[in-house]
């Protein structure tokens, strides 16, 4: 028990340190790009950001207790021999590409009736910032870890490639959630930009089921889900209540009615809107 508490403390303290550095980085970046408008945006997103931090702390405490018992990962070790003769940097690049491929399809699955109730928490942020990446239901965190990891391990990727893929896609996820009016011009054909992902969170029906990739926009282009009509200045989030507060949103996927299309739910602009 003491070892688990120690491991949890290590995870939490490391996360807090990383969060502090990222906060400074993204605020300075936003201020350089948007000037005083960045300060206004910060104030408008404050309530949602506090909610995002609260669910992050909840996940940091809960999920390590589960992850420390995931010994099944090591049962895939025998497949690692496939990549022994390949340069490590190439293995990592291929793992990132494959990780984004399975991430694309897993994300599409999260927008179906089966997984949407747990994914809805992520989309309930009406003032999306880089901290929105922390706004995930524990069920959603677990499904992401299990689906992505099993796929990459099944392809024989060694642990270092799995870790590198997760880190790159995670930190790039912070960037594409940031409130930055950036696209990449010609590079939009290959990579996901903040503008592209912002359209994924748009509250209009035309944006539903679009822009699922995290790193490589080519997956959305190939599979017909790419949509970036312009800079995204439309309202964000979802128009119905998925719990309101932290407890309500945590319980939302446990309710039977959450797994059926929402038609007459009341609109809300609260932190859990």
- Tens of pLDDT, residue by residue over 177-186, are 999 999 999 9
Looking at the structure of the chain, the number of domains it has is: 1
- Report, as an integer, the average pLDDT of 149-157: 90
Q: Do the domain assignments include residue 236?
A: yes
Q: From CA 40, how far away is CA 42, in angstroms rounded?
A: 5
CA-based nearest residue to 95, from 188, 150, 189, 158: 158
CB-CB contact of 157 with 96 (8 Å): no
Owning domain of residue 77: 2-259
Q: Do the domain assignments include residue 271?
A: no
Q: Do the domain assignments include residue 270?
A: no
Contacts of 60 (CB under 8 A, 6+ apart): 8, 11, 12, 15
State the pLDDT confidence band at 270, using cuts at 50, 70 and 90: very low
With 60 as the cut, is the pLDDT of residue 271 above it?
A: no
- Sign of the Cα torsion 147, 153, 157, 163 reads positive
Q: Do the domain assignments include residue 266?
A: no
Query: Residue with structure tokens 């025998």?
Result: 78
What single-letter DSSP state applies at residue 70? -
Q: Do the domain assignments include residue 188?
A: yes
Q: Do the domain assignments include residue 264?
A: no
CB-CB contact of 54 with 246 (8 Å): yes
Contacts of 100 (CB under 8 A, 6+ apart): 169, 213, 214, 215, 216, 219
Q: Do the domain assignments include residue 80?
A: yes
CB crowding 111-135: b at 16 or more within 10 Å, else e: beeebbbbbbbbbbbbbbbbbbbbb
Chain length of the chain = 273
Q: What's the pLDDT tens digit per position in 212-257?
A: 999 999 999 999 999 999 999 999 998 888 888 899 999 999 999 8
Give Rg (Cα) of the chain: 19
With 70 as the cut, is the pLDDT of residue 59 above it?
A: yes
Q: Do the domain assignments include residue 268?
A: no
Distances (CA, A) of 193 to 12, 102, 199: 29, 19, 10
C-alpha 44: how far from chain center: 21
With 90 as the cut, is the pLDDT of residue 109 above it?
A: yes
């Amino acid at each position: 028990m003491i070892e688990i508490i120690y491991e949890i403390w290590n995870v939490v303290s490391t996360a807090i340190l990383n969060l502090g550095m990222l906060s400074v980085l993204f605020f300075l970046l936003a201020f350089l790009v948007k000037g005083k408008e960045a300060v206004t945006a910060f104030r408008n997103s404050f309530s949602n950001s506090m909610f995002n931090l609260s669910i992050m702390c909840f996940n940091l405490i809960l999920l390590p207790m589960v992850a420390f018992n995931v010994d099944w990962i090591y049962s895939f070790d025998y497949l690692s021999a496939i990549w022994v003769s390949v340069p490590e940097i190439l293995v990592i690049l291929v793992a990132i590409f494959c990780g984004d491929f399975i991430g694309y399809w897993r994300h599409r699955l999260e927008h179906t009736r089966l997984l949407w109730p747990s994914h809805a928490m992520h989309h309930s942020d009406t003032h999306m910032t880089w901290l929105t990446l922390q706004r995930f239901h524990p069920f959603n965190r677990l499904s992401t870890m299990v689906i992505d990891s099993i796929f990459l391990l099944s392809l024989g990727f060694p642990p270092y490639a799995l870790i590198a893929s997760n880190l790159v896609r995670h930190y790039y996820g912070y960037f594409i959630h940031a409130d930055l009016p950036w696209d990449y011009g010609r590079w939009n054909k290959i990579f996901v930009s903040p503008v592209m992902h912002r359209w994924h969170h748009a509250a209009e029906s035309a944006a539903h089921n679009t822009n699922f990739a995290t790193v490589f926009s080519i997956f959305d282009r190939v599979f017909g889900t790419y949509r970036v009509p312009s800079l995204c200045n439309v309202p964000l989030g979802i128009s119905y209540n998925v719990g309101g507060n932290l407890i309500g949103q945590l319980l939302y996927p446990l309710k039977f009615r959450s797994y059926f299309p929402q038609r007459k739910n009341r609109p809300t602009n609260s932190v859990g809107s």
